[in-house]
């Protein structure tokens, strides 16, 4: 259905994330991957959704020669904990500190998606509230050692071991926590 809707477009997914790429395949979208390095810095006064919207837009600005037939999709996800944005951990110690901070608490996973071509841009966002049980140091270390979550915001993947044993409750889209609110993306792409 979506494939037919988008057949006039050259759909470009600007993401290294294997999870996002798989979502596009599962949505039956013809797409190609194009990557441009972007330094993911944002103004310090931004909070929550304003951060992910800024970064999704920033990533889209790296593509300067879009045509009306191109459909560029960029996105960004953060974990938002007590007025602090947790991005991807730099190393094992950073991952440990993030997971220790998330342990026993609720946080929000926020994702924004930019859909853009030469003539328009639309940015959509989604939030999911996630509750973690109290994690032991042994559980955290086991997860980091065996799953190496260095490419994941907040240092965890809900679809991995830590999600199975550590998440008590979820309010909102599971797929948003994996990395893309596919229900909102589908609706936005169908409305083009």
Residues designated as active site: 76
Identify the three-state secondary structure at position 109.
strand
Residues 6+ positions from 145 with CB-CB distance below 8 Å: 92
Quick one: which of 130, 136, 185 has its CA closest to 159? 130
Q: Return the beta strands (E) in the chain as ranges.
A: 10-13, 32-33, 70-81, 84-86, 106-116, 121-132, 167-171
């Amino acid at each position: 259905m979506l494939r037919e809707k988008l057949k006039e477009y050259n759909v470009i997914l600007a993401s290294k994330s294997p999870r996002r790429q798989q979502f596009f395949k599962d949505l039956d979208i013809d797409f190609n991957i194009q990557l441009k390095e972007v330094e993911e810095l944002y103004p310090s006064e931004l909070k929550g959704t304003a951060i992910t919207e800024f970064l999704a837009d920033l990533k889209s600005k790296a593509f300067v020669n879009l045509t009306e037939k191109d459909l560029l999709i960029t996105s960004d996800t953060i974990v938002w904990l007590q007025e602090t944005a947790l991005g991807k951990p730099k190393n094992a110690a950073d991952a440990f500190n993030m997971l220790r901070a998330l342990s026993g608490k609720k946080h929000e996973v926020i994702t924004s998606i930019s859909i853009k071509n030469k003539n328009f841009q639309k940015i959509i966002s989604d939030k999911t509230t996630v509750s973690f049980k109290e994690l032991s140091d042994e559980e955290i270390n086991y997860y980091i050692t065996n799953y190496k979550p260095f490419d994941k915001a907040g240092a965890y993947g809900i679809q991995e071991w830590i999600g199975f044993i550590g998440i008590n409750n979820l309010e909102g889209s599971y797929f948003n926590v994996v990395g893309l609110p596919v229900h909102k993306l589908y609706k936005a792409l169908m409305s083009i």
